[in-house]
Amino acid sequence: MPRLCRNTSDTGVYHVMLRGNNKQDIFEYQNDYLKFQDLLYQKCHPQDFNHNPLAPCCVVYAYCLMPNHVHLLIQEKEESISECIKSIAISYAQYYNIKYGHSGHLFQDRFRSENVNDWEYFVTLLRYIHQNPVAGGLALRVKDYPWSSWSEYENLRCCPMPFCAVSSVLSRISWEALNELVNEPLPKTSRILDYNNETTIRLNEEKIREFICKDCEFQNPKDIQTLSKPERKAVLKKILDFGGSIRQISRLTGLSESIVRRAR
């Protein structure tokens, strides 16, 4: 069955979400987040081979890089939204696969998008995207999360590669008003790319340790090392399905991250 064409936004602005295949983490370490930021920067500020500036491929108004998915508030320019996101996804997947020895799809299917055709919804998305880490249990406050565009809006923490169209947004709404809105939680009933289903709360390591000892029946998580390969893989997959990240499981069990990753 052929894929349906995406609906075209009247404004050229879209809310885009990329998610890891089977909800797997797509960012393991700080350099991974920085790599994705650099790819976004290159799309907003492209150059030719002589480092002369070219017309922007897109404009990014907001972004949030979560461990297993990405949210973008983005406007197409020299490239269509499909061309732009596909290029970023391919480049990042190549980087990730080489770095971690990963094979297969990194991202789940095509990226998802919705049209942003009015200012009211644009502001709602500014709030939603920046509140994602708080809703997901990764930060207590919006400003505490380092991998979103709020650092550019706040202008209090140094951003290594600013590329968001902050001034364009702040020409339509004051910083004070935006700051107040962004720090006021959206109702859970808001339907934004399946709001209630996409932001899962991260488990702390104590919860994962408890699951391993109680549900998997191990006295110590490191006892998993004594299992045969098929048994170990089955147990690791069970812990991954429970919600443990690769890094968390590696730390608790003493197994290498590559072994945990292969259990997927």
**Domain tally for the chain?**
2
* pLDDT for 14: 95
Specify whether 145 is located in the same domain as 225. no
The stretch 172-194 carries a mean pLDDT of: 82
**pLDDT tops 70 at residue 181:** yes
Neighbour tally for 28: CB within 10 Å:
17
176, 198, 220: which is the final residue of a domain? 198
Domain containing residue 155: CATH number? 3.30.70.1290
Same structural domain, 161 and 122: yes
Q: Which helix (H) or strand (E) holds 133?
A: helix 119-135
Residue 38 has pLDDT above 90, yes or no: yes
pLDDT for 197 equals 46
pLDDT surpasses 80 at 202: no
Residue 3 DSSP code: P
As a whole number, the mean pLDDT across the chain is 86
Residue that finishes a domain, picked among 170, 198, 226: 198
Say yes or no to pLDDT of 2 above 50.
no
What digits encode the pLDDT tens for the residues 57-83? 999 999 999 999 999 999 999 999 999
Question: Of 177, 198, 219, which residue is a domain's last?
Answer: 198
Q: Do 193 and 224 fall into the same domain?
A: no
pLDDT in tens, 212-243: 888 888 888 888 888 888 888 888 888 887 87
Stretch among 18-32, 73-87, 143-157, 201-215 having the lowest mean pLDDT: 201-215
Close Cβ partners of 261 (under 8 Å, ≥ 6 residues apart):
100, 102, 246
Q: Determine the structural domain holding residue 243 and report its residue range.
A: 205-262
182 with 229, same domain: the answer is: no
> Is residue 218 domain-resident?
yes
DSSP E strands, the chain: 13-19, 58-65, 69-76, 112-115
Lowest mean pLDDT among 168-182, 189-203, 224-238: 189-203
Tell whether 47 and 110 lie within a shared domain.
yes
